[in-house]
Structure 1
Amino acid sequence: MCTYGGGLGQSLKPFVEYNEPGKIMIIETPQSKSTQVSSCWGAIESARAKARGAEGVIVSGNARQVDQLQEAGLPVLSRGIAALGPREYMRLGSANHMIVIGGQRVDPDDVLIADDDGVVVVRQQDLSEVIESCEYGVKHDEVVLQAIAEGATMKEAWRRAYDLLGPPLEHARPFRR
């Protein structure tokens, strides 16, 4: 994980050089009027990040050049989209350090699960438990959707899932730091 936290320091341009192959880059952008109308991530940064072996990018600010980002094949999740590129306010704050993004603490060894619905941060020590809970949830949803497709009511569909899979795992609870 490579994080950007703002502040004084080097230009954003070498930021992508801090990423390690197989890692996700996380960019925490300070919220201000200028960051609301400009972006800190685009096609050029994505091209270099992909060349460095990044697996994806999560940006708490804006990205731009969405079509080119999608063509690049490197998943980029951002808070928003802005046509305006980065300005001089963008400076590397730190790399491979803990940050808080979206109110959530993220440490360099955390596992990130991300898609178009959002981002989940999982601590290493919770990973196997989270995977087990997710596997149950996926199986549950498959059973419920199949039952509904066959004409079952919601109550009947949920009962079928319970009968086939048993109760939800006792440890299936929100994970908090």
Structure 2
Amino acid sequence: MKIRRLPIEIIKEYKKLDTSSITDALDKQGIVGGLLGIKGVVNDTRACGQAFTVHYVPCGINKGTVGDFLDDVQEGDVVVIDNSGREYCTVWGDIMSQVAKEKRIAGTVIDGVCRDVKTIREIKYPIFTKGIYMMTGKDRVEADAINIPVGISGVKVCPGDLIVADENGVVCIPISSVKETLEIAKSIEATEVHIVNAVKGGKTLKEARAEMGYHTLQTKAID
């Protein structure tokens, strides 16, 4: 499946936003994008880029490989791995992290676990997972497809969707909603800045929030 490429200017704008504002903007549109339970492994790292998806299944009698898909990932993409939340084996470690860093891949998101975190933290590679465990995925799981729609924490992630990950977690923005979500998120952040400044100027928090409609910023409009 060929990934439709977003303008680099849009991705640069998303890099200025945090995931909280983005999920509020998605809520405003009735879109679920937060990937529950997936957290950063390395402090003070974030990732923003289009999704390159990888799907894993348990190995059968004939063992497949854990995948050499990194050769196909473009600079700036985020690798999104659907390992069905498996915690008994990993699909990412130090070799993958070092190669990804060399290729300027933006980061990795795994519905599952990773290992070799000492090296990952030393090179400050942005990786977001459901945990850490040392057992290899070799002979336990295999990559059976790349760049197909996958399920991450119950959210559909398609190739080319925009992934943003930071200290708060990971969010997926469907490629069809990227532009509208960006404008809404920027408006929400501007409103929140205005509220803080209004309080600094002497208003109560209740007054400032009421003035700016804070409690309905993320509420989906009724058609």
Q: TM-score, normalised by structure 2?
A: 0.63
* Corresponding residue to 1:26 among 71, 74, 80: 80
1:5 aligns with 2:80: no
Q: What residue is the counterpart of 1:141 in the other structure? A: 192
Distance 2:112 2:75 in 1: 23
Distance 1:141 1:83 in 2: 42
**Structure 2 gaps, min length 5:** 1-50
Q: What residue is the counterpart of 2:149 in the other structure? A: 98
CA change 1:168–1:127 in 2 (3 A) is same
Q: What residue is the counterpart of 2:22 in the other structure? A: none
Letter in 1 for 2:196: L
Q: What residue is the counterpart of 1:16 in the other structure? A: 70
Letter in 2 for 1:3: T
Report the CA distance between 1:29 and its aligned residue: 0.6
Distance 2:102 2:174 in 1: 27
Q: Determine helix, strand or coil for the equivalent of 2:179.
A: helix
Bigger RCO (CA 8 Å, 6+ sep):
2
Question: 1:97–1:108: 8 Å Cα contact kept in structure 2?
Answer: yes
Per-residue Cα deviation, 1:118-168 (whole angstroms, up to 9, x for no partner): 222222221111001110111122223344456643312313545xx9x85
1:50 aligns with 2:104: no
Q: Determine helix, strand or coil for the equivalent of 2:110.
A: strand
Question: 1:147–1:160: 8 Å Cα contact kept in structure 2?
Answer: no
* Corresponding residue to 2:170 among 119, 129, 144: 119
1:89 aligns with 2:140: yes
Question: 1:2–1:18: 8 Å Cα contact kept in structure 2?
Answer: no
The structure whose residues are more often strand, as a share, is 2
Distance 1:152 1:64 in 2: 50
Distance 1:39 1:122 in 2: 26
Distance 1:63 1:27 in 2: 11
* Identity value in percent: 22
Letter in 1 for 2:73: N
Report the CA distance between 1:114 and its aligned residue: 1.8
Give the total of aligned pairs. Answer: 166
- Larger Rg: 1 or 2? 1
CA RMSD of aligned residues (A): 2.8
Q: Determine helix, strand or coil for the equivalent of 2:191.
A: helix
Question: 1:18–1:95: 8 Å Cα contact kept in structure 2?
Answer: no
Q: What residue is the counterpart of 1:60 in the other structure? A: 111
Per-residue Cα deviation, 1:78-116 (whole angstroms, up to 9, x for no partner): 111223333421211211111121111111121112223
Distance 1:30 1:120 in 2: 17
**Structure 1 gaps, min length 5:** none
Report the CA distance between 1:56 and its aligned residue: 0.9
**The 10-residue stretch of structure 1 (80-89 or 133-142) with the greater mean CA deviation from structure 2:** 80-89
Question: 2:94–2:116: 8 Å Cα contact kept in structure 1?
Answer: yes
Q: What residue is the counterpart of 2:131 in the other structure? A: 80
